Structure 1
Amino acid sequence: MELYPVAAVENIPEGTSKIVEVKGRSIGVYNVGGTYYAIQNYCPHQGAELCAGPVCGTTLESQVYEFTYGRDREIVRCPWHGWEFDLKTGKSLFSDRVRVRSYAVEVSNGQVRIALGT
């Protein structure tokens, strides 16, 4: 696997993301709690730019009129139809058979690098 530098650490602060191009692939890079994750910027449903969607969490069981959230800032929601994907794994929240490609991320010497297979 080859590592491709995509950004300096300070360019993707905690809680933010950046869309980058690597070898013709559009990839969203996310900083979740100080750990970086990368997923393909393509929704498998109808091809929307997935990483243009909001980053959110899930709702947990709670009392009436009370909303309790879990997995805060770990989920990306497709801007077209609301399909949700785990930023850490690329897995969908609604089916074991649907996912987006995720990429390994390495941080060293202040640089965020994405690993792509050859």
Structure 2
Amino acid sequence: MGKHLVGATSEILPGQRKIVTVEGITMGVFNVNGTYYAVKNSCPHQQAPLCVGKVSGTTLPSQPGEFLYGREGEILRCPWHGWEFDLTNGHSLFDPNRCWVKTYEVEVELPEEEQPKLETFPVSVEEERVMVSVHR
């Protein structure tokens, strides 16, 4: 599987997703607070279209009678049966060691015209002295 352009960052703003098909695989690309994650659009339970599910947070470990909520925007819930998956690694919240959804590596690249350019100058050595020439 090679690199494939799936869109611009302006198309997938924080909290948003884009469902794409790459090499015959349907996946969701999610922007979680400026970091992008991609997961296969198939719940391992009964192959529901996972990536159309609700994205939210979850309860965190806490003391008895205390309820802490966190990880907003990192948890994907299956639209059919509510199975929950961590977008950052694909593992289920219920049984992370035995149940997960396939994840894919995501890179953000600047367009060629926006990539930083390094300006170079000719360098020569004259009588053990390094000389740099700047011509404007």
Instruction: Give the TM interval when normalised to the shorter protein.
Output: 0.7 to 0.9
Q: CA RMSD in A?
A: 1.6
Inter-partner Cα distance in structure 2 for 1:68 and 1:17: 26
Inter-partner Cα distance in structure 2 for 1:49 and 1:76: 11
**SS, match of residue 108 in structure 2:** strand
Q: Identity percentage over the alignment? A: 56
Taking CA–CA contacts closer than 8 Å with sequence separation of 6 or more, which of the two structures ends up with the larger relative contact order?
1
2:2 maps to 1:7? no
Higher strand share: 1
| Superposition TM-score, scaled by structure 2 size | 0.75
**Is the 1:62–1:68 Cα contact (8 Å) retained in structure 2?**
no
Q: Which runs of 5+ in 2 are unaligned?
A: 112-136
**Amino acid in structure 2 at the alignment position of 1:12:** I
Q: CA offset at residue 2 of structure 1?
A: 1.4
Q: Give the structure with higher Rg (CA).
A: 2
In structure 2, the partner of 1:34 is 34
Q: Which runs of 5+ in 1 are unaligned?
A: 111-118
| Superposition TM-score, scaled by structure 1 size | 0.85
Q: CA offset at residue 109 of structure 1?
A: 1.4
